Amino acid sequence: MSLNIEAQCCIVGCGPAGAMLGLLLARRGVDVVVLEKHIDFLRDFRGDDIAAATIEILDEIGLAEEFLALSPRRVRAVKAHTASGTMTLADLSLVRTRFPFVAVVPQWDFLTFLAAEAALEPGFRLLTGAEATDIIEQDGVVQGVRFRSGDEEGVVQAALTVAADGRTSLLRDKAALPVVATAPPIDMMLFRLPRRATDEASDAIDIHLGAGWAMARLDRGDYWQAACMIPKGAADVVRAAGVDAFRDAIAEVMSDLANHVGALETWDQIHLLSVQTNRLRRWHRPGLLCIGDCAHAMSPIGGTGVNFAIQDAVVAANRLTEPIRRGDVTTRDLAGVQRERQWQVRIMQLLQSRLTKGYVAAAGDKPDGIRGLGQRIGPKLLNLPGFCALRSRITALGLRRVHVAPEFRVAARQPPDGRHP
């Protein structure tokens, strides 16, 4: 294949945002090239929680059933446990949706699924192992990108370039788009614990708070996926105390897993996630739009990153498909995408920040853990009737539902024998 490529739209990054936008544009006949620097989607410890916000979108484009068949695992509630009791933070059965659950699907399966679906469209080209290295500009207008693939260098020229290259985006730096960083006071340590046949099954995300620690865990069927919140930059202090001390802390806070912690032998089994949250002041320049984590890195608290990335892609497709087809994407079009999405990002980042402070307070070595949590996120709000329903709705659907425009809607595919998968 020639390394000098022309397309109507070039998307950099095939994460959830890039893959969904590529699929939607290609389905409407746009000639789209997606560059992905990795050769596959196989990365561990990524966002695997797909909430109703995204499943409803997949349903609108005829893919929900096939997507849900990728994994049987569902989360139906979020619960906080402290020494003084358990509180249901979200109960997804309270949400009015056809999909009152979070589907737990490995992100690599989700991305492989979206990319395979997009590949059915003649206008879609995915180049893996192709890393964008710079933007091409003429008279202040972005006209595409340079990229490297193995030993070769190439160029994609496109009327619109979309930066969906994640929270360490190179493109937004090259485009000199200023980032407003917010400083979450936490990092995360992510690990797995073995799951035994005798362990009680859980269909919740369980958050355990106490003894100065905040930990969360999710039943993945054959193992426990777990995360431990630590103060920002404290990983070295935690490591210096030794794996034994870390195991003891897990055993104290999640006491029913005390017999499982022996499986953690070295720090190599514990992945550090440096949490960053930020957003761009301006998501676009002429010829360039940023979406997903590139435009706004979300905190992992609340598991919103994938859903926000998908919603950005849908709004971009809704607003930009016709201008791209006409070859006339204006600054006004690009600003419209930012306008529709940025208020949700700002409010969600604010809510995540409050929730994080609540967890930190409730994890303190106090008997009144739940009250500590309440104090930080507002006891009056917490106690209002219906507030659990509101929290559940936000967990499932975000702040406002995003729908694909009618022209993208497709009925579910019927398999040849007429039965659904």
Ligand X SMILES: Cc1cc2nc3c(=O)[nH]c(=O)nc-3n(C[C@H](O)[C@H](O)[C@H](O)COP(=O)(O)OP(=O)(O)OC[C@H]3O[C@@H](n4cnc5c(N)ncnc54)[C@H](O)[C@@H]3O)c2cc1C
Residue of the chain from 123, 144, 154, 166 that contacts ligand X (CB under 6 A): 166
Asked if 36 is part of the footprint of ligand X (rule: CB under 6 A), the reply reads yes
Residue with token string 């006891």: 379
User: To the nearest 10°, the Cα dihedral for 331, 337, 338, 342?
Assistant: 170
Nearer to ligand X, 296 or 369 (CB): 296
Query: Least Å distance between CB 84 and ligand X?
Result: 27
> Which segment (296-304, 345-353, 356-364, 391-399) binds ligand X by CB under 6 A?
296-304
Our finding on whether 280 is near ligand X (CB under 6 A) is no
- 216 touches ligand X (CB under 6 A): no
Name the packing angle between helices 369-377 and 331-363 (round to 10°): 150
Stretch that binds ligand X, among 24-32, 292-300, 341-349, 375-383 (CB under 6 A): 292-300
Q: From residue 138, how far is each of 127, 142, 157, 335 by CA, in Å?
A: 24, 7, 11, 20
SS3 state at 93: helix
Binding to ligand X by residue 374, rule CB under 6 A?
no
Integer angstrom CA distances of residue 23 from 35, 61, 321: 14, 10, 12
User: Cα–Cα distance between 209 and 43 in angstroms, integer?
Assistant: 29
Count of residues touching ligand X (by CB under 6 A): 33
| x-or-dash string of contact with ligand X, 116-155, rule CB under 6 A | ---------------xx-----------------------
Q: Kindly tell me which of 37 and 319 has the beta carbon lying closer to ligand X.
A: 37
- Could you tell me the smallest distance in angstroms from the CB atom of residue 2 to ligand X? 18
Find the helix or strand (DSSP H, E) in which 173 lies: helix 170-174
SS3 404: coil
With H, G, I as helix, E, B as strand and everything else as coil, classify residue 107.
helix
Q: Which of 32, 164, 362, 370 binds ligand X (CB under 6 A)?
A: 164
For residue 180, CA distances in Å to 265, 280, 283, 309, 345 come to 39, 6, 12, 18, 12
- 11, 22, 31, 37: which one binds ligand X (CB under 6 A): 37
Query: What is the contact surface with ligand X in residues (CB under 6 A)?
Result: 12-18, 35-38, 45-47, 49, 131-132, 164-166, 170, 273, 292-294, 298, 300, 303-307, 309
